[in-house]
Amino acid sequence: MANANENEAQIGLVTAYGKYTDEVKKEMKKEAKRISKEMLNQIINSSPQRKPYQNKTARGAWYAAYTRGMSGRYKQNWKLRTKNENGGNRIVIVACNKTDAPIAHLIDLGHKMPHGGKYEGTEHIRKAQKDARAELYRAVREILK
């Protein structure tokens, strides 16, 4: 008789623990999504934007017309993508640029110019990532209290 009560108590504890972990997982996912949206807004607001081309020569007029729609393209094309949700145990949310993904790291970190000189870079991705990571650690600590 005592064994049956012990087994029932153990099953009850496992069930309660499963419900607790499910609630914690849901809260963590919700916080991760909220914080990633804040990170995305921070990246968009701090992304550099190309100035319109100002050269008044014949070639300059053609180039200005060619690049007219390109100003702000990098800034406007950021999105969030949920990359991996592994059975509810892990969630990976990635901020990516839809059109200019191959050059995002160059704009963030800087690079050498093709004809000499150096572009110093505008640190907007790493700064937002660092702030979001700190905010997520704080939020997880609050959830687990």
Q: Is the pLDDT of residue 45 over 80?
A: yes
pLDDT digits (tens, 9 = 90+) for 11-31: 655 666 666 677 888 888 899
Name the pTM for this structure: 0.72
Q: Which of 1, 112, 119, 104 is nearest to 43 (CA)?
A: 104
Rg (CA), the chain: 24
Q: 86 exposed, middle or buried (CB, 10 Å; 0-12, 13-18, 19+)? A: exposed
Mean pLDDT value across residues 37-65: 74
- As a whole number of Å, the end-to-end CA separation of the chain is 37
For residues 145 and 139, what is the distance between their CA atoms, to the nearest angstrom? 10
pLDDT (0 to 100) of residue 1 = 47
Q: Is the pLDDT of residue 2 over 60?
A: no
What does DSSP say about strands 118-119 and 91-97: parallel, antiparallel, or unpaired? unpaired
Q: Is the pLDDT of residue 102 over 80?
A: yes
* Mean pLDDT of all residues belonging to the chain: 79
